[in-house]
């Protein structure tokens, strides 16, 4: 798919913007703080109704908007998909006064949709400078990565995730109250049923998707490193993360952890049974600690290069390469699942890569349906890529087409 | 958005402030309502004031079904023409109104006054669940229809009630979930469709 038109009103430093785009590579360059990243953020926001950078939607609204009496931001676009041209508008409206809720609305092809019904209509892959945190940061970052990726291809997952999160919140609140004030623990165990039902689907889906990503990432990574290194991606579910898995990881054996082999099918029913069982066994401990200790909210991913854990033993360069390979794998996964190429957004990633990896990324982009790439330095682009790219200079919230 | 001191007479400022405490009403709507009332005929303003004042006077909770009423037992519970062996359990008084509006239900009700939600500090003992169980042991009830909302909290509350009913010889049913009438299949959200498929029924 490709973005054919984009219209911004009061988004970040773009007071007004209207632009049309053709397929192919579009390179946005220019000095810092002119709006290159904000532009990519707007496209990401159009596709996901979530900002990769802002912690609250209100931050997205142009600072002058309130004085103008228009306390809202609009991101509107037309996206050409394999099945035709679609129109999307995402708008954020600030509350009348401090403390009032910021409202967000998504209108897709003329119909207002709940967020959960919209996710996945426009697929996007974002390469961000901070992607290395996928490897080295906390498990929560990796779970979020998995969730965002799977939500784009499976709406059922989105629903189950929302329900699971809600059930978990209720169960934790009940456990905390029991820890502080005592009472009948039945009030906590009541949430086991929805927790297990929605959580099991999450576990099964994560397991399948990680297995697919693992295959793709191994291939991409081998090409990036000239075949010298072998990257594996492992799913470490909280369930079944028993002594066996930890033991094998520490010995550096070829991992056969639950969730890697695709030849051991696990039915939803088996996971539900196991999940319910583990929850029942954890009850005393949960009452003591006042929180839910079992479930996919404690899952993690592991990146192994030649069987060594990247988070702990990888060099900075290896970690960066692993993160890049993961994004490229994600790109292939989503294109295959959706039977349509997702939009690519690459935020200033060339400066972090050596010439060999830049050339590889360049080749991947040359064949790609549409990609937006920002850079502070055009010389970092491989010459053949630069030759076919459309160049846009970004200047104080305006786009200047150069070619 | 409150007016500067002295810009408005105290009585006007006070009404704006009180109205803006209501759900769904911001300071702008509150000001608009206030100035509307200022220009409205005296009778209308007095009728509103009287209605607000009388709202909580003489209002009781029915000792049997916990619905809000002017006297206890409430009009529905006093109606001997109603089916006395069926109880429909709902979260809020407005749910009773919704079901009554259909005219299709002739049994009794039980109002829980909420759903279990530890996040909001609402536990089973804060709801009228014990009263429901006591009713089941006292009255000749043969069927309980669980009509809590199809939300996570509503479902969980229903589960809790099922467990409390235990092995009493009572038929327990749940409202069907599915497609709204007059809806277009194409536009139904996926969850609704999945639920409707799960709850499909035999065609006679």
What is the C-alpha separation between A223 and A364, in angstroms, rounded? 11
Under 8 Å between Cβ of A128 and A93:
no
pLDDT digits (tens, 9 = 90+) for A345-378: 999 998 888 998 999 999 989 889 999 999 999 9
A96·B118 Cβ contact <8 A: no
- The pLDDT assigned to A263 comes to 41
- The pLDDT assigned to B118 comes to 95
The residues of chain A scoring below 50 in pLDDT are 241-265
How many C-beta atoms surround the C-beta of residue B116 within 10 A? 28
Distance from CA of A149 to the nearest CA of B (A): 19
- The pLDDT assigned to B5 comes to 66
Facing A97 at nearest CB: one of B1, B155, B187: B1
Under 8 Å between Cβ of A320 and A353:
yes
Q: Where in chain A is the domain with CATH 1.20.1050.90?
A: 136-316
Under 8 Å between Cβ of B131 and B112:
no
What is the CATH code for A136-316? 1.20.1050.90
Instruction: Compute and round to an integer the Cα radius of gyration of chain B.
Output: 22
Contacts of A169 (CB under 8 A, 6+ apart): B119
- The pLDDT assigned to B179 comes to 76
Distance from CA of A260 to the nearest CA of B (A): 30
Q: Which CATH number does the domain A2-123+340-401 belong to among 3.30.559.10, 3.40.718.10, 3.40.50.300, 3.40.50.2300? A: 3.40.50.300
Domain B10-55 fold is Helicase, Ruva Protein; domain 3 (1.10.8)
End-to-end CA distance of chain A: 22
What is the C-alpha separation between A377 and A358, in angstroms, rounded? 13
Task: Return per-residue pLDDT of chain B as tens, 204 residues.
Answer: 455 667 889 999 999 999 988 888 888 889 999 999 999 999 999 999 999 988 888 889 999 999 999 999 999 999 999 999 999 999 999 999 999 999 999 999 999 999 999 999 999 999 999 999 999 999 999 999 999 998 999 999 999 999 999 999 999 999 887 777 776 777 777 777 777 887 787 886
Selected for mutation to probe chain A from B118, B156, B183 (highest A CB count within 10 Å) is B118
**CB < 8 Å to B194, chain A:** 156
- The pLDDT assigned to A249 comes to 41
- The pLDDT assigned to A374 comes to 96
Distance from CA of A294 to the nearest CA of B (A): 19
Under 8 Å between Cβ of A150 and A157:
yes
**CB < 8 Å to A174, chain B:** 118, 123
Under 8 Å between Cβ of B113 and B157:
no
What is the value of ipTM here, to two decimals? 0.74
Under 8 Å between Cβ of B154 and A223:
no
A187·B121 Cβ contact <8 A: no
A114·B117 Cβ contact <8 A: no
The CATH class of B82-202 is: alpha beta
A96·B26 Cβ contact <8 A: yes
Closest by Cα among B54, B52, B58, B57 to B18: B52
Distance from CA of A103 to the nearest CA of B (A): 14
CA dihedral sign, ordered A66, A71, A75, A76: negative
What is the C-alpha separation between B51 and B35, in angstroms, rounded? 19
CA A141 from chain center: how many Å?
9
- The pLDDT assigned to A168 comes to 97
Facing A187 at nearest CB: one of B28, B124, B191: B124
Selected for mutation to probe chain A from B25, B119, B198 (highest A CB count within 10 Å) is B119
Instruction: Give me the residues paired with residue A6 across strands.
Output: A19, A77
Distance from CA of B140 to the nearest CA of A (A): 28
B160·A190 Cβ contact <8 A: yes
Distance from CA of B110 to the nearest CA of A (A): 21
**CB < 8 Å to B163, chain A:** 186
Give the H/E segment covering residue A78: strand A72-81
What does DSSP assign to residue B126? G
Longest dimension (CA), chain B: 73
B191·A183 Cβ contact <8 A: no
What is the C-alpha separation between B8 and B6, in angstroms, rounded? 5
Facing A173 at nearest CB: one of B119, B159, B189: B119
Q: Which two tokens stand for residue B116?
A: 């279990």
- The pLDDT assigned to A65 comes to 79
Contacts of A189 (CB under 8 A, 6+ apart): A283
- The pLDDT assigned to B95 comes to 95
Burial group, residue A110, by CB count within 10 angstroms (0-12, 13-18, 19+): exposed
Search chain A and give the residue with CA nearest B27: A96
């Amino acid at each position: 798919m490709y973005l054919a038109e984009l219209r911004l009103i009061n988004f970040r430093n773009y007071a007004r913007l209207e632009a049309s785009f053709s397929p192919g590579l579009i390179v946005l360059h220019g000095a810092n703080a002119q709006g290159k990243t904000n532009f990519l953020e707007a496209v990401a926001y159009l596709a996901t109704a979530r900002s990769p950078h802002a912690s609250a939607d209100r931050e997205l609204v142009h600072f002058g908007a309130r004085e103008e009496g228009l306390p809202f931001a609009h991101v509107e676009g037309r996206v050409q998909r394999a099945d035709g041209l679609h129109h999307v508008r995402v708008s954020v409206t600030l509350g009348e006064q401090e403390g009032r809720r910021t409202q967000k609305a998504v209108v897709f092809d003329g119909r207002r949709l709940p967020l959960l019904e919209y996710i996945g209509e426009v697929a996007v892959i974002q390469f961000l400078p901070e992607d290395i945190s996928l490897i080295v940061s906390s498990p929560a970052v990796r779970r979020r990565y998995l969730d965002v990726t799977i939500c784009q291809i499976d709406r059922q997952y989105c629903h189950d995730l929302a329900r699971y999160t809600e059930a978990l919140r209720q169960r934790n609140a009940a456990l905390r109250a029991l820890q502080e004030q005592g009472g009948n623990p039945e009030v906590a165990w009541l949430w086991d049923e929805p927790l297990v039902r929605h959580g099991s689907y999450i576990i099964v889906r994560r397991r399948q998707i990680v297995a697919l990503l693992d295959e793709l990432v191994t291939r991409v990574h081998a090409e990036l490193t000239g075949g010298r290194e072998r990257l594996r991606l492992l799913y470490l579910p909280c369930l079944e993360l028993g002594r066996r898995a930890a033991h094998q990881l520490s010995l550096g054996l070829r991992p056969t952890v639950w969730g890697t082999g695709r030849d051991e099918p696990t039915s939803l029913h088996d996971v539900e049974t196991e999940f319910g069982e583990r929850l029942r066994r954890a009850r005393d401990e949960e009452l003591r600690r006042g929180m839910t200790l079992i479930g996919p909210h404690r899952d993690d991913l592991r990146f192994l290069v030649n069987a060594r854990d990247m988070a702990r033993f990888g060099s900075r360069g290896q970690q960066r390469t692993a993160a890049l390979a993961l994004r490229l794998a994600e790109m292939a996964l989503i294109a295959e699942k959706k039977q349509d190429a997702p939009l690519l957004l690459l935020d200033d990633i060339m400066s972090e890569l050596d010439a060999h990896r830049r050339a590889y990324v360049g080749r991947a982009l040359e064949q790609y349906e549409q990609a937006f790439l920002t850079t502070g330095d055009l010389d970092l682009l491989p010459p053949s890529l630069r030759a076919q790219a459309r160049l846009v200079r970004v200047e104080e919230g305006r786009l200047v087409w150069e070619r | 958005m409150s007016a500067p001191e002295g810009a408005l007479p105290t009585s006007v400022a006070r009404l704006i402030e009180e109205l803006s405490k209501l759900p769904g009403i911001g300071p702008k709507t509150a000001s608009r309502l206030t100035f509307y009332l200022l220009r409205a005929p005296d009778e209308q303003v007095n009728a509103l004031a009287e209605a607000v004042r009388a709202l909580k006077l003489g209002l009781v909770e029915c000792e049997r079904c916990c619905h809000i009423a002017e006297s206890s037992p409430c009009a529905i519970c006093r109606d001997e023409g109603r089916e006395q062996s069926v109880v429909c359990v709902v979260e809020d008084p407005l749910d009773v109104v919704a079901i009554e509006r259909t005219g299709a239900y002739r049994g009794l009700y039980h109002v829980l006054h909420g759903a279990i939600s530890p996040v909001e500090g609402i536990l089973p003992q804060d709801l009228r669940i014990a009263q429901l169980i006591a009713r089941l042991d006292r009255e000749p009830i043969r069927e309980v229809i669980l009509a809590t909302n199809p939300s996570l909290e509503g479902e969980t509350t229903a589960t809790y009630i099922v467990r409390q009913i235990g092995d009493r010889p009572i038929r327990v049913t749940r409202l069907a979930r599915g497609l709204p009438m007059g809806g277009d299949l194409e536009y139904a959200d996926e969850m609704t469709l999945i639920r409707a498929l799960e709850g499909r029924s035999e065609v006679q």
